[in-house]
Structure formats: C-alpha cells, structure tokens
C-alpha cells in the first residue's frame, strides 16, 4: 500500500499533492515521539553564540592574515606555539615556506575569473524543481523546453536517456537528478544544456524514521569537499579567500601533520571511506584474477545510511575516476545521489568551454549540487562528499578559479544555518606529484602533506570545549586518513567525556589526544611517505663551518645572557663540540622517486642516490634546526641546545628555553645561586677562575 502510494506519485509532477498525502499517511505510521526525536537532528537547534572563547591557532592566523587581514571571530583565544608542546613530539612537522622558489618555479596561477558564457543559463534548479530564469523570459518571451532525463546505465560506465518530457513548465518537480534541457523561445532563440539537481524522493525523506540513528550518535551532517593534487601549502597559496574564511570566521582546525599513506587519490580516499588500504580490500583491479566491483568494500556511507542518513558522492574527471580508472567501479549506485552519470555525459560532450556548463562553471555546479542536497533535506541527517579535480589534476595553475566560488558557497551555507549542525571537512588528497616538484626537498614534503581542515559547529564548541582543545592539540601532531575514518566512527559512538577506544590500532579519533610519541611506524605510514622530521647525526660536524658558526653564536649568546652578572661570572669560551644533529626527513623519503607499478604499491628509489647529494636539496628549508652538545671553559660546562638557522637572514634563533645543562654544575655558580638562581646552570663563578689560574701556574 505504502509502496504503491509512492510509486504512483513518483513520476507525476501533477502528483505533488498526493506526495504530501503520502507523507502524512506515513507519518501516522510512526510514533509521534520518534519523529520529534529526529527533528532535533535538524537545523533547528537553539543556541546562543559562542559563550566559550573560540580557540584559534596563532600560526594558522598568521598565515591567513598574509592576504586577508580582517578577523571577525568574536572572543578569540590565541593558542601560541608553546601550547602545542612541539619539542616533545616524536614526529616533528617540517615548517614549510609559502614563498618557496622551488615551488613557485613550477606554478603560474591564472589571474582573474573564469569566463563562461555571457548569456545566463535559461534553466536553473530550485529545491528539486525545474525553473526558467525570469531574465530569459523577459528577454526572449515565453519558453518551451524538452526535458531528457540522464540516468545511470547498467554500471559505472554507461548512461541511458529516460523518457523525454515535452513540454515542461516552470516549477515542475524534477523526475531525475540529471537531465538535458532543450528549449526554444517565442523569439526563435534556442538553449541547450545539461543540469543537475536533487529529485524529490519520499522514501529518502523518511529514511531517518525507518532507520533511526543509534542513540550514541551525535547526529551531525557531514559535508566534505576536496580538491585533487593540492598540497596544504598550495591550498593556502591559491585559495586565500577560502582559507582565511575557514580560519578567521569559521574557526576551522587545519591538521598540519596530516600525512598521506600511499600514492594517489584512491590511497588517500579509501582509508577515509573504508578504514582500509586498497591492498587490504578485496581485489578490484581491472584485469586481475577474481577481481570484482568495489561494492563489497566497507564504505562508511553504508553505515551512515543504516543510521538514517541520506548520502551524496560525486567527482568530476570520470575518465580517471577514483574507483573506476584502475578499479572496476560500482555495480550499484553507492549512494543516494551519485554524480557519475552526469559527468559521464558532461565529459563526453564537445564544448568550447570545458570548464563551464553555459554560464555556470563546472566547479560552481558541484557546489550548487551540494547546496541543493542540503535544501532538499533540511531536517534529514546528511552525508555529502564531492571531489573536484578539473582545476588541479594536470597542473595546479587553475585552482584560483575556485577561490571566490568556494568562499561564497561557505558563506552561503553558514548564513543559511546549514553549518550549525554539520561537520565540515575541506580537504585535498595529496600534493602535486609532477616529477619536477618531486625532485626538490620542499616538493617531496608538500606532496606528503595535503590540506585537511575540520570545522565543528559552534554548538559543539560550546558543549565539548575539551574535545575542541584535543582537536587543536592534534592539529600539530601526525595524523592520517585513517584517523578521519576513526573520527566518523567516534561520531556514531559518542560519549561526552569517557575516552573513546579506537577500533583499529593504527588510528585515533581526532577528538581525543593523539600520543605525543606517535611515529609513522605506529601510524602505519611507510617511511618513504613519512614527512616527519627526525634528528640525524652530522658526521662531519668538526669540520663543517656552519657548525662552528653556530657553536660560536651559542657561546656569544651565553655570555650576553650573563651580562647582568658580569662581575661575578666568568666570560665563557668554546672548548669543544661533542655532537651535532640536524632535523631532517628520513632517507627513504629523500631517495623516493615514484611508484614503479601502475597501482602505486611498489616504491621506486633512486639507486644512484647518494644521501649526501640528496641532502643538498635541503637548503630550501626555511629554518633548518640543529641540535648541538658543546662544552665551554672555564668550568667545563656541557650544554645541549636546539638552534634554528635562518638561511635568508643568515642569523641563528637561540633561546634559553631550548637550552639545557647536561653535566652537574654543583657549586660552580654559588656566587649568584641565592641572588639570581636563573643563572645557576650557566654561570661559572669568576672567583674560581683566578684560584685555578694560581694553582695551575
């Protein structure tokens, strides 16, 4: 009965009325209280703005202010570098230079906006209905259109055309998500284009009632948008408006230690969406024995569906589809709103403007489709993930076209309240992989460090300030795509305070502190992908001029530090350097050239590679760090210190808090011990010097 009711209404636009009747009818079948419970997952939360101070990472803010100076977030509390305890971390993130000439050499970003057709599209979509633009109607007189549904064929590689509808009128409900419109106006002009929207589906509107969420679920929507082949640094370089909006107005957290776990897009997305690597998942590679479609993978969107969510996934670049190029793709549509058929048609059409659908850019079209999705299901829980590659796949140069559109989209979603109960993830899969870039040190690191930002709604900040603190803390620690999956699982099993126990030994929920001793090994990141820096001994430290310069600078620093107690403490001189190390990437990463199989599973290293040579490329580091153990006289005090070398300014960054005395100083500094205890570990009392001299003479 219910099914017949739905079927009756599905393809008849005149039947909107009966849909409403169906809806009411179905509602009666569910308990009122159940409905109420689920309404509360919608966007009608009542909350007052941030009561808590908003935590903002000073380093993010500094980066974001380079191009967009204003800060609008109310009541911010800046988290300074000390908060993150960086020196305690086993995995240290490289500090990368946004102006690095090694990268800019290969980057010629477009200037200005993308130019699509000047005449506005006649057709647009408004919450699941077909609309004719008023502008076109005024200009051309009455318009009649034919509507040809674009439907998925038997698999991911074919489409079919649905029954042609003619004529269609303004405000007709869509009968498919995708369609071709061919229109003619009274004045003889014609219009032809393809469009995407969200078709009304009564069953999906009800899913959260039939499949209620587990009680421990937080109930937020998930909205993800990603770009292909863009590093974290290039995201900041080429999307400054979007980046500063995320940081300064949405308070998003950027995961600065987010490290790839394999080569290419599938290796970046599969761990997020399935918690596993391609090798751990059932064989799905084209041409391999026993290979089957990827339907069997444990997709996270299935879990969302089982918990009442409506789901959406799509990407452009269908010919290099993430799950269709090397893999066999899906037999059945994996999500409720699946964009692939649309792009199959779009990318097979001949066009002079390959970045546009008429007057609308293809990128904007994707954003519109997500907005449509949120409009169609205002109160239903939603999972949406769209991935864009057209601007950045072959070169990164066109990415600036996306900046204003993505910024405006986020502003719109925020203004409409859609972000009030949504976990927003703006991300990229990996940095650029062009062989030229891969040759430079910075290029290698950037490939391994994509952009991953997470923005939780204000209500979450308010209710769980401690979890936001954890997320902030983790933003400087080593994190991986596996952690994003684990964080989704945490949403399903959310308990306020109690610790969440990860389902896997290689991942953590980002809402809980990641141990500061996490290493690539414990996070299942193979060493040639690992961007963590580690202390590496400098073998020729006794002859390297730089090390001598640094040690002298350290001694000068110690002496100037003692200037207040000049009369009591002896002038120090360098006696010997005992050990020197530099913070550097691991050798496997330096030697890695590219994967040598087409599945990206077998790493290829440069056989001639000679580490000394590879290390030369490190000169492009902004502030390489050195750690020295040295001894001074008189008094033979031994110190360990970490020093930054500013290569451009030719200066050293030496700070007391990075200095420690490593042998006993006993009574050496007794002359000032009471008066100025802060000098005890450095001062050698002058009076002992004269004594010693007398003895030794």
287 Rama sector, left if φ>0, alpha if ψ -120 to 50, beta otherwise: left
* Three-class secondary structure of residue 641 per DSSP: strand
Strands (E), 616-674: 625-633, 637-646, 651-653, 659-661
| Partners of 427 in the β-ladder | 226, 452
**Distance (Å, whole) CA 119 – CA 554:** 67
Question: Is 622 within 8 Å of 598 (Cβ atoms)?
Answer: no
Give the shortest CB-466-to-ligand NAG separation in angstroms.
Answer: 12
Is there binding between residue 88 and ligand NAG (CB under 6 A)? Answer: yes
Is there binding between residue 417 and ligand NAG (CB under 6 A)? Answer: no
Is there binding between residue 375 and ligand NAG (CB under 6 A)? Answer: yes
User: Among positive and negative, which fits the CA dihedral 363, 368, 371, 376?
Assistant: negative
**Distance (Å, whole) CA 583 – CA 532:** 9
Largest CA distance in the chain: 113
Of the residues 203, 378, 417, 502, which one makes contact with ligand NAG according to CB under 6 A: 378
Radius of gyration of the chain (CA): 30
In this complex, which beta carbon is closest to ligand NAG, that of residue 517 or of residue 560? 517
Number of CB atoms found within 10 A of residue 131's CB: 16
In this complex, which beta carbon is closest to ligand NAG, that of residue 109 or of residue 465? 465
Give the shortest CB-517-to-ligand NAG separation in angstroms.
Answer: 4
Interface size with ligand NAG, residues (CB under 6 A): 17
- Report helix, strand and coil shares of the chain as percent, to nearest 5: 35, 20, 45
Is there binding between residue 48 and ligand NAG (CB under 6 A)? Answer: no
In this complex, which beta carbon is closest to ligand NAG, that of residue 520 or of residue 654? 520
Is there binding between residue 203 and ligand NAG (CB under 6 A)? Answer: no
Is there binding between residue 606 and ligand NAG (CB under 6 A)? Answer: no
Of the residues 566, 613, 619, 678, which one makes contact with ligand NAG according to CB under 6 A: 613
Helix (H) / strand (E) containing 423:
strand 422-428
Is there binding between residue 58 and ligand NAG (CB under 6 A)? Answer: no
Scanning residues 426 to 485, which ones bind ligand NAG (CB under 6 A)?
473
For 36, counting Cβ atoms within 10 Å of its Cβ (0-12 exposed, 13-18 middle, 19+ buried), the class is exposed
Place of tokens 């007398």: 694
In this complex, which beta carbon is closest to ligand NAG, that of residue 300 or of residue 525? 525
Is there binding between residue 653 and ligand NAG (CB under 6 A)? Answer: no
Is there binding between residue 610 and ligand NAG (CB under 6 A)? Answer: yes
Is there binding between residue 85 and ligand NAG (CB under 6 A)? Answer: yes
Give the shortest CB-508-to-ligand NAG separation in angstroms.
Answer: 12
For 310, counting Cβ atoms within 10 Å of its Cβ (0-12 exposed, 13-18 middle, 19+ buried), the class is buried
In this complex, which beta carbon is closest to ligand NAG, that of residue 18 or of residue 127? 127
Of the residues 128, 333, 417, 465, which one makes contact with ligand NAG according to CB under 6 A: 128
Is there binding between residue 200 and ligand NAG (CB under 6 A)? Answer: yes
Give the shortest CB-65-to-ligand NAG separation in angstroms.
Answer: 25
Cα within 13 Å of Cα(205), Cβ side:
18
Is there binding between residue 77 and ligand NAG (CB under 6 A)? Answer: no
Kindly state the tokens that stand for 243. Answer: 């980046």
Is there binding between residue 612 and ligand NAG (CB under 6 A)? Answer: yes
Is there binding between residue 587 and ligand NAG (CB under 6 A)? Answer: no
Is there binding between residue 403 and ligand NAG (CB under 6 A)? Answer: no
Of 76, 51, 66, 54, which is closest to residue 455 (Cα–Cα)? 54
Question: Is 237 within 8 Å of 399 (Cβ atoms)?
Answer: no
Is there binding between residue 127 and ligand NAG (CB under 6 A)? Answer: yes
Kindly state the tokens that stand for 387. Answer: 């991935």
Give the shortest CB-471-to-ligand NAG separation in angstroms.
Answer: 13
In this complex, which beta carbon is closest to ligand NAG, that of residue 519 or of residue 536? 519
Q: What contacts 399, CB < 8 A, 6 or more positions away?
A: 109, 227, 230, 234, 238, 239, 391, 392
Contact code string over 505-544 relative to ligand NAG, x by CB under 6 A: x---------x-x-x--x----------------------
Is there binding between residue 660 and ligand NAG (CB under 6 A)? Answer: no
Question: Which chain residues interact with ligand NAG by CB under 6 A?
Answer: 85, 88, 127-128, 200, 375-376, 378, 473, 505, 515, 517, 519, 522, 610, 612-613
């Amino acid at each position: 009965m219910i099914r017949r009711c739905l079927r009756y209404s599905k393809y008849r636009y005149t039947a909107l009325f009966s849909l409403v009747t169906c809806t009411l009818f179905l509602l009666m079948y569910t308990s009122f209280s159940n409905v109420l419970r689920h309404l509360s997952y919608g966007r009608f939360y009542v909350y007052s703005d941030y009561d808590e101070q908003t935590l903002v990472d000073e380093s993010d803010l500094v980066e974001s202010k380079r191009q967009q100076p204003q800060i609008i977030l109310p009541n911010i509390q800046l988290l300074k570098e000390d908060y993150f305890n960086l020196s305690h971390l086993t995995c240290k993130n490289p500090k990368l230079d946004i102006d690095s000439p090694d990268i800019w050499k290969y980057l010629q970003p477009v200037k200005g906006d993308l130019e699509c057709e000047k005449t506005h599209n006649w057709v647009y979509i408004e919450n699941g209905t077909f609309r004719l633009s008023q502008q076109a109607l005024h200009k051309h007189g009455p318009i009649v259109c034919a509507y040809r549904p674009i439907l998925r064929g038997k698999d991911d590689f074919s489409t079919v055309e649905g029954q042609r509808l003619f004529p269609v009128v303004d405000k007709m409900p869509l009968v498919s998500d995708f369609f071709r419109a061919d229109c003619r106006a009274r004045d003889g002009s014609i219009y032809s284009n393809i469009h995407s929207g969200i078709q009304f589906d009564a069953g999906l509107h009800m899913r959260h009632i039939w499949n209620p969420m587990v009680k421990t679920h937080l109930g937020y929507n998930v909205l993800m948008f990603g770009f292909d082949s863009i590093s974290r640094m290039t995201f900041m370089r080429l999307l400054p408006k979007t980046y500063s909006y995320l940081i300064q107005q949405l308070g998003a957290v950027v995961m600065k230690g987010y490290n790839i776990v394999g080569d290419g897009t599938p290796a970046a997305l599969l761990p997020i969406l399935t918690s596993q690597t391609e090798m751990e998942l059932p064989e799905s590679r084209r041409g391999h024995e026993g290979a089957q479609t990827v339907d069997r993978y444990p997709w996270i969107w299935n879990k969302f569906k089982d918990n009442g969510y409506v789901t959406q996934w799509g990407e452009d670049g269908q010919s290099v589809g993430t799950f269709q190029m090397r893999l066999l793709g899906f037999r059945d549509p994996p999500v409720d709103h699946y964009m692939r058929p649309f792009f199959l048609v779009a990318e097979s059409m001949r066009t002079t403007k390959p970045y546009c659908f008429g007057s609308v850019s293809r990128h904007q079209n994707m954003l519109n489709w997500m907005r449509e999705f949120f409009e169609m299901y205002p109160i239903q829980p939603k999972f949406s993930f769209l991935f864009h590659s057209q601007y950045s796949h072959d070169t990164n140069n066109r990415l600036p076209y996306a900046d204003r559109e993505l910024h405006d989209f986020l502003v719109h979603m925020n203004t409409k309240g859609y972000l009030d109960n949504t976990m927003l993830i703006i991300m990229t899969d990996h940095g650029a992989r062009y062989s030229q870039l891969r040759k430079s040190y910075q290029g290698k690191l950037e490939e391994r460090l994509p952009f991953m930002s997470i923005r939780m709604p204000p209500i979450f900040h308010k209710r769980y300030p401690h979890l936001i603190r954890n997320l902030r803390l983790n933003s400087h620690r080593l994190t991986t795509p596996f952690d994003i999956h684990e964080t989704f699982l945490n949403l399903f099993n959310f308990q306020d305070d109690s610790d969440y126990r990860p389902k896997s030994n290689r991942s953590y929920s980002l809402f809980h502190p990641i141990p500061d001793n996490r290493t690539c090994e414990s996070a299942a990141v193979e060493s040639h992908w690992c961007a963590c820096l580690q202390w590496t001994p400098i073998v020729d430290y006794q002859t390297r001029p730089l090390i001598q310069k640094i040690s002298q600078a350290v001694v000068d620093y110690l002496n100037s530090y003692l200037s207040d107690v000049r009369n009591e403490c002896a002038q120090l001189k360098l006696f010997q350097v005992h050990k020197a190390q530099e913070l550097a990437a691991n050798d496997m990463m330096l030697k890695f050239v590219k994967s040598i199989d087409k599945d990206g599973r077998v790493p290829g290293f440069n056989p001639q590679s000679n580490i000394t040579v590879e290390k030369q490329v490190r000169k492009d580091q902004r502030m390489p760090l050195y750690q020295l153990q040295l001894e001074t006289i008189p008094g033979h005090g031994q110190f360990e210190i970490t020093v930054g070398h500013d290569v451009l300014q030719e200066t050293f960054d030496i700070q007391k808090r990075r200095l420690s005395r490593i042998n006993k100083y006993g009574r050496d500094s007794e002359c000032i011990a009471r008066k100025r205890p802060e000098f005890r570990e450095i001062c050698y009392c002058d009076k002992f010097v004269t004594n010693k001299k007398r003895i030794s003479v």
